[in-house]
Chains A and B, each alone.
Chain A
Amino acid sequence: MDITDFYDTFFEEAQELLADMERHLLELDVEEPDSEQLNAIFRTVHSIKGGAGTFGFEVLQNTAHLFENLLDHARHGELTLRQDIVDVFLETKDMLNDQLNAYRNGEEPDQEAFERICKTLQQLALEEIAGSTPENGAPAAATPKEAAPAEEPKPAQDSTPAQTAEVGDEQAGQRLIVAFSGVSEENRKLLVEELEQFGTIQAQSGDDARYEVELETTTSADDIESVMCFIIEPEQVETRAAAPSSAETPTKEPEPAAANEQQQPGKAAEQSAPSVQDEKPKPPTAKKPAAKPANKSKAGESSSIRVSVEKVDQIINLVGELIITQSMLDQTVSTLEGITNTSLINGMSLLQRNARDLQEAVMSIRMIPMDFVFSRFPRVVRETSSKLGKQIELATEGESTELDKSLTERIIDPLTHLVRNSLDHGIESPDEREAAGKPRAGKLTLSARHQGGNIIIEVSDDGAGLSRERILAKARESGLNVSDTMSDDEVWQLIFAAGFSTAKEVTDVSGRGVGMDVVKRNIQGMGGHVQIMSTPGQGTTIRIVLPLTLAILDGMSIKVGDEVFILPLSTVLQSLQPSKDDLYQMAGSDEVLRVRDEYLPVVAVHQALDVAGAETDPTRSIAVIVQGEGRRYALLVDELIGQQQVVVKNLETNYRKVPGVSAATILGDGSVALILDIPGLHQLSRSKKDAPQPGSPASDKTMLSSSGG
């Protein structure tokens, strides 16, 4: 087997390790660091280093190595953590991430960035550690085999061996037996090569079923195992001490420690750092995050499988089909006579229930918790607030709320933008806040919750709120058509206009006015919309309302002539019977309908879509007031059928984009219905009116012959 086969596993695991590391770093209490947490961070870096070494990703390995050394000092209390040091750690984490991505794309990582981060880390090691623990300078050359590999810039020699010596002192001369079970010869060779990096191999023997390697090493059993686990399964490797050769290797429990690593990460962590002296004894339960250290990904493997989205979508499709078939059968059965067919009817209702349950279960596969999105914000808030010199407390609510995976990925950018905006424009500087009688630290809340078939995501701050006057003044300045009588809601919506920003000065965080319009467009692209609530002096809440999934849509079915169409329910505001007095002709063929003192363009669906046999008299049809891209329209339809959830099917897979139609769906009787696209429909009806009213089939003919020739 080729080692490249394991690349993907390594990349995925490393990515998860990095995410874990970031979480721990952010949760880390600088004043009183939790040793469990430091250990967890150390282990993530160590695992990455080990894996990177195995696969020959030198830059990644070297960076991780330097980082690991620093962390080792931190967990032994020799490096006093400060906020700026944690910032450097976070930066290093980003760098590791970049390098990982570079390797994943088959490129070499940015050498310049690598050298820069190395320098930063080495500097940090020199300044922070050399001063506090001068005795470490002495055994510098003691552990050459741990020293950084050859390509590393020279200065590394000054600092790195000094730190690794520490580890060496603790566990010098330790002899471990590493046993592999059920490992093929090729893999074994890899593993042994890997082990050689940790120390000297004293003896090795065995066969495929069980192969033992006796290793003299300075590395702990746990660490060796975590590296081995990049190549083989955790169950396949076991380590135990061969003979306790030194008094300094204290309670190194032989076997169970390693085997239990997954179940008892806390315990394992303590063992990997047995001689931490000045560590304050703390109950392991002191901090909740420590309960999920680096091994999360491995533990996760046993209870979850990775499946491609395509497969899941295929299942969703098939279940949708099943539901349709079931409802078709249901219709047939309902015409049967009840008494003689009791068992059939009972069976049908059971089938119906099971099919619905199945559909729900399948849909939930695509759902992932909002935590996936929220977890990246502590970092954003931390960086932005320090850049702006503001104090911000971030609170998140409803992290367990679930959302379709494709949506969570697309919500991150708009949400980041909103958070930055809130930090920059919403929350005032500490002095201003104090003057206003508020706590110096501003509060930013991210929340998510379900409401009906929607998910509501809110970004709220307790800042100054939006200023109506400033927005209006700015709008006039940019030539927008506004009036003082506009409702607050309408005024707030102005900030979504392109190029609109009321920020007094442009910062590199926000204020250029690009963005809010993009945010709105993105969210509309996901089938959602944005609301703003703001109270002067008390803060602003921006609410994003999104459908739970793109695969299912709440629709209103309407009938025009004999054809059924679906309107997305989120666009429907109200429906009414237009009276003659409210309809006005404008500039020739344009028609508007007055609804509550608002004049809405009338779009006759039968006209736009050439439906034969539809009601042509507006006063005898129904006007559905809909909203699309911020504008309202009155759609004339014949009949409202009702609300229903529909499964959205792409038209473009086998056909092409159709003007005025966003997608298609399959109705209960198995027929296809088109889902209307409101702005597209309006455009269509306008272009039809502009054209010199041809008979509809004729227009098709002309189109045909012109393209056919």
Chain B
Amino acid sequence: MNRYSTEDIQAAADGDNQQFLVFSLGEEEYAIDILKVQEILGYENVTRIANAPDFIKGVTNLRGIIVPIVDLRIKFNLDKVEYDGQTVVIVVNVSDRIVGIVVDGVSDVMTLTPDQIKPAPELGVTMSADFLSGLGSLENRMLVLVDIDKLLTSKEMALVEQVGE
């Protein structure tokens, strides 16, 4: 059985086309809603936070605001995790919080029509389908559409203090 967020499908249908920022993690292409993106930075000067999960690289100074940096490559168990000139941080704004996510590179901005967005299949262990809003199909490319809000506020990411913790 396929699971997908009906809300997102609905939103896409109502608002016609949706714009996504496409980024790469290893060989795969992912995309997030462009409206969540605040800016894109190079990866530098991250201060480690002790006793945090290893995919939380630490915090950085974004013009006076302390912003946590999450490496999605580590989170998604990619084999190759390197920090070089290509490594970028996408600063996203979710649930009134500012979080930086480290990815291998940002390729482009895509506009998807509602019929280009297919429901996401149940995936393996890497990423629970809860955090996907669908798959975008474009000629010969396939984009994994990530629900960045849900992903970053999830308990798994340990970014937000959960009630009762």
B87-108 vs A, Cβ < 8 Å mask (1 yes, 0 no): 0000000000111000000000
Q: In the complex, which of the residues B48, B49, B55, B61 contacts A666, with contact meaning CB atoms closer than 8 Å?
A: B61
**Contact between chains at A671 and B45 (CB < 8 Å):** yes
A672 nearest CB neighbor, chain B only:
B47
Q: For the complex, give the distance between the alpha carbons of A661 and B47 in Å.
A: 13
What class of interface size applies to chain B in its complex with A? 20 to 34
Contact A653 B65 (CB under 8 A): yes
Please give the number of chain A residues whose Cβ is less than 8 angstroms from any Cβ of chain B in the complex. 39
Per-residue interface assignment for chain B, residues 123 to 165, with 1 indicating a CB less than 8 Å from any chain A CB and 0 otherwise:
0000000000000000000000000000000011011110000
Partner of A649, one of B45, B64, B68, B97: B64
Residues of A within 8 A of B99 (CB): 654
* Measured CA separation A684–B50 after assembly (Å): 11
Q: A651-B59, A708-B156 are in contact. Are A658 and B66 (CB under 8 A)?
A: no
A74: interface (CB < 8 Å)? no
Q: Does A486 contact B (CB under 8 A)?
A: no
> Bound complex: CA of A659 vs CA of B49, how far in Å?
10
- The interface bits of chain B over 46-75 (1 if a CB of A lies within 8 angstroms of the residue's CB, else 0) are 011111111100111101111110000000
Task: Report yes or no: B61 in contact with A672, Cβ–Cβ below 8 A.
Answer: yes
Contact: B51 with A684, CB < 8 Å?
Answer: yes
Known pairs A672-B59, A701-B54; A563 contacts B48 (CB<8 A): yes
> Chain A contacts of B45 at CB under 8 A?
670-672
For window 654-670 of A, CB contacts with B under 8 Å fall at 654-661, 664, 666, 670
B-contacting residues, A666-709, CB 8 Å: 666, 670-674, 684, 697, 699-701, 703-704, 707-708
Q: Which of A324, A661, A673, A700 has the most CB of B within 10 A?
A: A700
Q: Is A619 an interface residue (CB 8 A)?
A: no
Tell me the nearest residue of chain A to B54, going by C-beta: A700
Is A611 engaged at the interface, CB distance under 8 Å to the other chain? yes
A664 vs B64: C-alpha distance when bound (angstroms) = 11
Residues of B within 8 A of A666 (CB): 61, 64, 66
Give B3-57 interface residues, CB cut-off 8 Å to A.
45, 47-55
Residues from chain B with Cβ under 8 Å of A656 in the complex: 158-161
A325 to chain B: closest residue by CB: B63
Check if A697 sits within 8 Å of B66, measured CB to CB: no
Would you give the shortest CB distance from A603 to chain B, in whole angstroms? Answer: 13
User: Which segment, of A296-304, A314-322, A362-370, faces chain B?
Assistant: A314-322
User: Is the Cβ of B66 less than 8 Å from the Cβ of A655?
Assistant: yes
Cβ of A331 < 8 Å from any Cβ of B?
no
A58 at the interface (CB under 8 A from B): no
A609 is an interface residue with CB less than 8 A from chain B: yes
- Assuming the A-B contacts A707-B156, A707-B158, are A659 and B68 also in contact, with contact meaning beta carbons closer than 8 angstroms in the complex? no
CB of B50 within 8 A of CB of A609, answer yes
Taking the closest CB of chain A, its distance from the CB of B127, in whole angstroms, is 11
B130, chain A: closest CB distance, angstroms: 12
Residue ID in chain A nearest B128 by CB atoms: A708
B155 CB contacts on chain A under 8 angstroms: 707
Chain A: which residue is nearest B99 at the CB level? A654
Closest to B62 in A: A654
Q: Are B48's CB and A703's CB within 8 A?
A: no
Q: B66 contacts which of A318, A321, A654, A703 (Cβ < 8 Å)?
A: A654
> What's the nearest-Cβ distance from chain B to residue A359, in Å?
13
Known interface pairs A655-B159, A671-B47. Does A703 touch B64 (Cβ–Cβ under 8 Å)? no
Establish whether residues B54 and A609, one from each chain, have CB atoms under 8 Å apart when the complex forms.
no
Question: Which residues 618-669 of A sit at the B interface, judged by CB distance below 8 A?
Answer: 649-661, 664, 666
Among B50, B59, B61, B68, the residue within 8 A (CB) of A670 is B61
Residue in B47, B58, B161 whose beta carbon sits within 8 Å of that of A657 in the complex: B161
Given contacts A563-B48, A655-B159, A670-B61, whether A664 and B66 have CB atoms under 8 Å apart is: yes
For B64, give its contact among A321, A563, A674 (CB under 8 Å): A321
Contact A658 to B52, CB < 8 A, known contacts A672-B60, A673-B47, A707-B156: yes
Q: Are B51 and A672 in contact (CB under 8 A)?
A: no
Chain B residue with the shortest CB-CB distance to A606: B50
The answer, yes or no, to whether A610 is at the interface (CB within 8 Å) is: yes
Q: Does A608 sit within 8 A of B, measured CB to CB?
A: yes
Which residues does chain A contribute within 8 Å of B68, judged by CB atoms? 654-655
Known: A655-B159, A664-B66, A708-B156. A671 touches B50 (CB 8 A): no
Measured CB to CB, the nearest residue on chain A to B58 is: A672
In whole angstroms, how far apart are the Cα atoms of A655 and B57 in the complex? 12
Inter-chain contact A664/B158, CB cutoff 8 Å: no
Chain B nearest CB, measured from A10 CB (Å): 34
- How far is it, in angstroms, between the C-alpha of A664 and the C-alpha of B65 when the chains are bound? 10
Name A563's closest neighbour in chain B (CB-CB). B48
Roughly how many angstroms separate A674 CA and B58 CA in the complex, as a whole number?
11
The answer to whether A649 and B53 touch across the interface, beta carbons within 8 angstroms, is no
List the A side residues contacting B60 at CB < 8 Å.
Answer: 671-672
User: Which residues of chain B have C-beta atoms less than 8 A from A317's C-beta?
Assistant: 64
Distance between Cα atoms of A658 and B53 in the complex (Å) = 12
- Residue contact A654 to B49, C-beta cutoff 8 Å: no
Name the residue of chain B whose CB is nearest to the CB of A659.
B51
> What's the minimum C-beta distance from A295 to chain B, rounded to whole angstroms?
41
- Taking CB atoms, residues of chain B closer than 8 Å to A649 are 64-66
Expressed in whole angstroms, the minimum distance between the Cβ of A608 and any Cβ of chain B is 7
Please name all residues of chain B whose beta carbon is closer than 8 Å to the beta carbon of A703 when the two chains form the complex.
53
Known interface pairs A651-B66, A708-B156; A674-B49 also in contact (CB < 8 Å)? yes
Return B38 CB to nearest CB of chain A, in Å.
11
The residues of B that contact A661 with a CB separation of less than 8 Å are: 49-50
Complex-state Cα separation, A655 to B98, whole angstroms: 8
A318 & B64 in contact (Cβ 8 Å cutoff): yes
Chain A residues, CB < 8 A from B160: 656
Query: How far, in whole Å, are A670 and B161 apart by their CA atoms in the complex?
Result: 27
Contacts A649-B64, A654-B67, A674-B47 given: A700-B59 contact, CB under 8 Å?
Answer: no
Q: Are B49 and A658 in contact (CB under 8 A)?
A: yes
In the assembled complex, how far is the CB of residue B145 from the closest CB belonging to chain A, in whole angstroms? 21
Contact of B59 among A655, A699, A701, A708 (CB under 8 A): A655
Q: A649: nearest residue on chain B (CB-CB)?
A: B66
| Residues of chain A lying within 8 A (CB to CB) of residue B61 | 324, 666, 670-672
Contacts A321-B64, A649-B66, A670-B61 given; indicate if A658 touches B156 (C-beta within 8 A): no
Cβ contacts under 8 Å, B49 to chain A = 655, 658, 661, 674
| B53 engages A704 (CB within 8 Å) | yes
Are the CB atoms of A654 and B97 closer together than 8 Å? yes
Given the known interface contacts A650-B66, A654-B99, A671-B45, the answer about A609 and B51 at a Cβ–Cβ threshold of 8 Å is yes
* Additional 9 contacts, C-beta under 8 A, given A320-B64, A658-B50: A324-B64, A651-B66, A653-B66, A654-B65, A654-B97, A666-B64, A671-B60, A700-B54, A704-B54
24 contacts between A and B (CB under 8 A): A317-B64, A324-B64, A609-B50, A609-B51, A611-B50, A651-B59, A651-B66, A653-B65, A653-B97, A654-B66, A657-B161, A659-B51, A660-B50, A660-B51, A664-B47, A664-B66, A666-B66, A671-B45, A672-B59, A684-B51, A700-B53, A704-B55, A704-B156, A707-B156
> Which residues of A pack against B, CB within 8 Å?
317-318, 320-321, 324, 563, 608-611, 649-661, 664, 666, 670-674, 684, 697, 699-701, 703-704, 707-708
User: Across chains A and B, which 4 residue pairs bring their CB atoms closest together, nearest first?
Assistant: A609-B50, A672-B47, A655-B68, A321-B64
